[in-house]
Copies of this chain bind each other. A is one copy, B any other.
Amino acid sequence: MYDQITVMAKELYEKSVALRRDLHRHPETGWLEMRTSAVIAGILTNLGYEVLTGRQVVDDGARMGLPSEEARREHAKLVREGWDTPLTYLTEEMEAGYTGVIGILRCGQGPVCALRFDIDALGVLEDENACHRPAREGFASQCPGVMHACGHDGHTAIGLGVAEVLMNLRAQLHGTVKLIFQPAEEGVRGARAIVSKGHLDDVDYFVGTHLAPLDGPDDGAVTPATYGSLATTKYDILYRGAPAHAGGFPEKGRNALLAAACAAMGLAAIPRHSEGSSRVNVGTLHAGTGRNVIPDYAKMEIELRGETTEINEYMAENARRVCEAAAAMYGCTCEMICMGAADSHHSDLTLADRAAAVIERELPDIRVSSVRCARNWGSEDISLMMNRVQSHGGQAICMRNITAMEAPQHTADFDFDEKVLEEGIRVFSAIAYDLLRDEPLHG
């Protein structure tokens, strides 16, 4: 059967490349993945999956860092009128920013195996120079300032390839396949809305991945598990005070700029934690309307991080106290909006070993890294999904699929060797098949 997976992946390769390039041409940032969602929904539907979209996928109140209504309307217009979007599958909810798609394949009794692929792009202006392959070969971003610079176009293409393979193997599967196409991973904004909808509550096995560069610490084509990541919370903080003429009536103002400045100092002073690394950053601050007016408005974008979820929560709790007290000090009000959140994560080594074993045994041309569980240093909101699965006894891993990259992720020159698409389809399919192939015992 694994040979069959290998054959199917090979046959899918050209289609996967075309799909990835189509997505690369039409990049969409978090909660604006309208065309992307329509494309995914179309393919899954045509393959025969049970397809969830819109509010079926994401919890209404849990979308963090949602773009403004105007921004969503504007992008919806582009998607509908300016791009070759499969309109049949574009829903009003997608256009309202309820993006993300879940495809379900029910194959009788057996465990639930969820595979997760993130689908959003970044706010990066893609390089137009001919030495950048997407530019040279005509699949560069059609949306200036937005780019798939992290490889989620590849993740999505892999996910849709896996969808086709598993559908073909469905007669041999026992249990349920759940393919989760997650929006808004950048800024760690999207996972919470899917978790809070309950989609992870019945999952027994959970597998995710991220493309990673060849020249990293990994020494194979696949690292079966990762752990770590810094847990993180992102806030936008708005201070509102009262304006006054700075020369005429300074005593009548409520100075939002000073409230923010005081908060920035207080945030930087949150004590270090003895149990591990922590971070705090006020990344941006914008305040005031004119030189001679007491500033009545200030906005800060901040983020907290912690080596563990607990340390991050310690940072976030302190940050909330500091930001509110700074408002009180200057007679202002303070609004804190959570714009993103991720936990630290750990992979289950049993599942990692099982995944490694099946790859080594059945896909021997794909080398598994000698380090089974590698440290991750960034923040990833897959952690929220993994922690939910693990909280009720399920097992979860987040892998790395290694591939040559032209330039570092998140830069204008980023591109990757598309061979990884075929490899990724094989790895995910093999793992899922391995997890679902056994007929369950009578209960």
Contact = CB atoms under 8 A, between A and B. Distances in A.
Contact of A321 (B268, B277, B328, B377): B328
Interface stretch (A166-174, A176-184, A219-227, A243-251): A243-251
Interface in A272-299: 272-275, 277-279, 281-295, 298
One complex includes copies of this chain to the number of: 4
B279 A283 contact: no
A145 interface: no
Interface residues of A, number: 65
Nearest to A232: B247
27 contacts: A246-B281, A247-B279, A247-B281, A247-B303, A247-B377, A250-B271, A250-B281, A253-B271, A257-B264, A258-B264, A261-B261, A262-B329, A269-B269, A272-B279, A274-B277, A281-B291, A281-B292, A281-B294, A283-B288, A283-B289, A283-B294, A288-B301, A321-B329, A321-B331, A325-B328, A326-B329, A329-B329
Given A266-B262, A283-B293, A286-B286, A249 B274 contact: yes
Interface of A: 187, 230, 232, 234, 246-251, 253, 255, 257-258, 260-262, 264-266, 268-269, 271-275, 277-279, 281-295, 298, 301-303, 305, 314, 318, 321-322, 324-326, 328-331, 339, 377-379
B288 A284 contact: yes
Contact of A251 (B260, B273, B322, B324): B273
A440 B176 CA distance: 77
A286 B283 contact: no
Contact of A266 (B318, B329, B339): B329
Given A234-B291, A250-B281, A290-B301, 7 more contacts: A248-B274, A260-B285, A261-B285, A272-B279, A283-B294, A284-B291, A321-B329
